[in-house]
Structure 1
Amino acid sequence: MGITDGNKKVMDRQVFAIDQVIFREGKPGNAAYVVQEGKVEIFKTLGEGKEVILGSIEAGGLFGELALVDNQPRMASARAKERTVLIAISRQTFEKKMSGSDRFIKAVLRILLGNYRTVVRRAALAESKLKEHGIPLDG
């Protein structure tokens, strides 16, 4: 299944079962995703297999775009929390759209994403340490 522009396929529709992993932290990112139906959980795995949930993405939400913008490995993993239908936006389609963007804006975006990656990594570690000491993060 795919979405076409004339005769050319530009986006793929993919279906994931409950708890099926969509991508793993540390792997190359070749697509971003829009949730058409269902729910996706974004998580980091820390030492000893501990998971920290960073958030969830519902219908209409976008995820996985960081790896397309800055060409870095995935900063977190994603899995379907229920039967989920995603529209995949390939690196090729993304780069074609970005090629017309101002170089300054692209550079600022890459810097912002680098900062974001650092903050998320530190927040996940902090949350893990709080949990180790029985301190709830929310509430």
Structure 2
Amino acid sequence: MGITDGNKKVMDRQVFATDQVIFREGKPGNSAYVVQEGKVEVFKTLNGEEEVILGTIEAGGLFGELALVDNKPRMASARATERTVLIAINRQTFEKKMAGSDRFIKAILRILLGNYRTVVRRAAVAEAKLKEHGIPLD
């Protein structure tokens, strides 16, 4: 099932079961996702085993967009925490929309996202160290 623009399919509707992984950290990102129904947990894996939850995305939320903007591998993994319906926005559609954007705005967006990736990476490491010492973050 998909969303079309004329005869061309531009977005797919995808269904994920509870605990099903949507994408993995370090893999190429060719789609961003809008949560239509359900919930998605975004997490990083540290030292190959410990998971740090970065956030939960609920209906109406967007995730996975960083890899589309800066063409870098996924910075985190995502999984459904319940039955979840997503609308996938593919790279081709995203790039077509971005092509019409101002170059200055695109450059600023890439810089902001680079900074965001750095902050998230550092925050995940800091949270893991706090947990290691029995200090709750919440």
1:129 is matched with: 129
TM superposition score normalised by structure 2: 0.99
Change (3 A) 1:110 1:135: same
**Residues in 1 aligned to 2:20 and 2:44: alpha-carbon distance in whole angstroms:** 15
**Residues in 1 aligned to 2:60 and 2:27: alpha-carbon distance in whole angstroms:** 24
Find the residue that maps to 2:36 and give its secondary structure: strand
Which segments of 5 or more consecutive residues in structure 2 lack a partner in the other structure?
none
After superposition, the C-alpha distances for 1:34-67 in whole angstroms (9 at most, x for unaligned) are 0000000000000140000000000000000000
Find the residue that maps to 2:11 and give its secondary structure: strand
Which segments of 5 or more consecutive residues in structure 1 lack a partner in the other structure?
none
Change (3 A) 1:93 1:48: closer
Aligned-residue offset at 1:6: 1.8
**Residues in 2 aligned to 1:25 and 1:65: alpha-carbon distance in whole angstroms:** 13
Identity %: 89
Find the residue that maps to 1:85 and give its secondary structure: strand
Task: In structure 1, give the amino acid aligned to 2:113.
Answer: L
**Residues in 1 aligned to 2:5 and 2:104: alpha-carbon distance in whole angstroms:** 29
**Residues in 1 aligned to 2:71 and 2:4: alpha-carbon distance in whole angstroms:** 25
**Residues in 2 aligned to 1:8 and 1:58: alpha-carbon distance in whole angstroms:** 28
Find the residue that maps to 1:136 and give its secondary structure: coil
Find the residue that maps to 1:117 and give its secondary structure: helix
**Residues in 1 aligned to 2:112 and 2:48: alpha-carbon distance in whole angstroms:** 30
Find the residue that maps to 2:124 and give its secondary structure: helix
RMSD, aligned α-carbons = 0.5
Change (3 A) 1:37 1:104: same
List structure 1 runs of 4+ shifted beyond 6 angstroms. none
Taking the TM superposition and a 5 Å limit, the aligned residue runs for 1:5-24 are 5-24=5-24
**Residues in 2 aligned to 1:117 and 1:50: alpha-carbon distance in whole angstroms:** 19
